[in-house]
Amino acid sequence: MASSLTAGGTQPSAPSFSGLRRTCPKLDAAVSFSHRVNSSIRLVSSSQRSPRGVVAMAGSGKFFVGGNWKCNGTKDSITKLVSDLNTATLEPDVDVVVSPPFVYIDQVKSSLTDRIEISGQNSWVGKGGAFTGEISVEQLKDIGCKWVILGHSERRHVIGEKDEFIGKKAAYALSEGLGVIACIGEKLEEREAGKTFDVCFEQLKAFADAVPSWDKVVVAYEPVWAIGTGKVASPQQAQEVHVAVRDWLKKNVSEEVASKTRIIYGGSVNGGNCAELAKEEDIDGFLVGGASLKGPEFATIVNSVTSKKVAA
């Protein structure tokens, strides 16, 4: 494992910085990481593992934090949440997005600071029309959304959306100019069966097969067993999958996309665990459910970018 992490002939060298990212590999961290890995998932072989240099070059460096409010809130509670967000001090170098229930988007858009962008929690697969109960991409744009969350585990496993359908949704949303928060993640039994990477790669492939460009895609790795359970992935467990996802993008899409695409973590992130997670090199931000319903705690998560700067 240690050798696989250092495959590619990378040599330790003096760190330099691009945005929040190192531009040289951090060999010691990689080796100690290999000793710390404590998960049942299958490890990538040395031939699968990319040089850490890809990671070091990755990303725009801009942290991304999304708040997924899911099916929560009332006019009153959302008024309070928006007011808390409007008065919160947010680090400047973070993209911040919130995703209210559809019926409250207009209220949020007209009262929330422009500092925070708005996302839909889902969108229809094509142009709007006779699709009872659906919301179209055109409507999300019309109401002021810049993003949409697609492939969330609750839509996959509760509503029954399939990979191909989700990929088509992503392609349509992108073609209309929305950014896509593309969610992937394994169930507990899949992790226990050593299939974490297989599941994530398959879900990723469905996005890759459909989307024309990754410019406005943020990948959210959200292990299903961690969502809403209070059981957060350890920083090492999350980092391990994020590295594998970036490696998959490099091999199957392009080195450039692997470098630029932000890979955020979701699943029981809160004000107490965000700083440790943020320190991991490939964790480029968070998708937050429960804790995003509390303004001050969400602000703490946004501001965990500061621990990333220290870690770098």
| Active site members | 152, 222
Tokens (6 digits) for 138: 């055109």
Question: Could you tell me the smallest distance in angstroms from the CB atom of residue 84 to ligand PGA?
Answer: 17
Say whether residue 241 binds ligand PGA (CB under 6 A): no
Question: Could you tell me the smallest distance in angstroms from the CB atom of residue 124 to ligand PGA?
Answer: 21
The number of beta carbons lying within 10 Å of the beta carbon of residue 29 is: 18
Tokens (6 digits) for 290: 């429960």
Query: CA angle, 105 as apex, 102 and 109 as ends, to 5°?
Result: 165
Question: Could you tell me the smallest distance in angstroms from the CB atom of residue 274 to ligand PGA?
Answer: 11
Task: Please select the residue that binds ligand PGA; options are 100, 185, 289, 295, rule is CB under 6 A.
Answer: 289
Residues 79-138 that bind ligand PGA (CB under 6 A): none
> Which residues, 6 or more positions from 4, have their beta carbon under 8 angstroms from its beta carbon?
34, 43, 44, 45, 46, 49
Task: Please select the residue that binds ligand PGA; options are 161, 163, 186, 222, rule is CB under 6 A.
Answer: 222
Contacts with ligand PGA: how many residues (CB under 6 A)? 13
Tokens (6 digits) for 94: 């973070």
* Closer CB to ligand PGA, 25 or 179, in the complex: 179
Nearest residue to ligand PGA, scored by beta-carbon proximity: 289
* Closer CB to ligand PGA, 235 or 289, in the complex: 289
* Closer CB to ligand PGA, 266 or 295, in the complex: 266
Question: Could you tell me the smallest distance in angstroms from the CB atom of residue 149 to ligand PGA?
Answer: 8
Question: Could you tell me the smallest distance in angstroms from the CB atom of residue 222 to ligand PGA?
Answer: 6
- Separation between Cα atoms, residue 115 and residue 126, nearest integer Å: 29
Residues 259-278 that bind ligand PGA (CB under 6 A): 266-269
Task: Please select the residue that binds ligand PGA; options are 287, 299, 301, 302, rule is CB under 6 A.
Answer: 287
* Closer CB to ligand PGA, 73 or 289, in the complex: 289
Question: Could you tell me the smallest distance in angstroms from the CB atom of residue 191 to ligand PGA?
Answer: 16
Task: Please select the residue that binds ligand PGA; options are 6, 10, 50, 68, rule is CB under 6 A.
Answer: 68
Say whether residue 167 binds ligand PGA (CB under 6 A): no
Tokens (6 digits) for 303: 């501001």
The number of beta carbons lying within 10 Å of the beta carbon of residue 247 is: 21
Stretch near ligand PGA under the rule CB under 6 A, chosen from 73-81, 113-121, 131-139, 289-297:
289-297
Q: Kindly list the residues in this chain that would bind ligand PGA in the complex (CB under 6 A).
A: 68, 222, 227-228, 266-269, 287-291
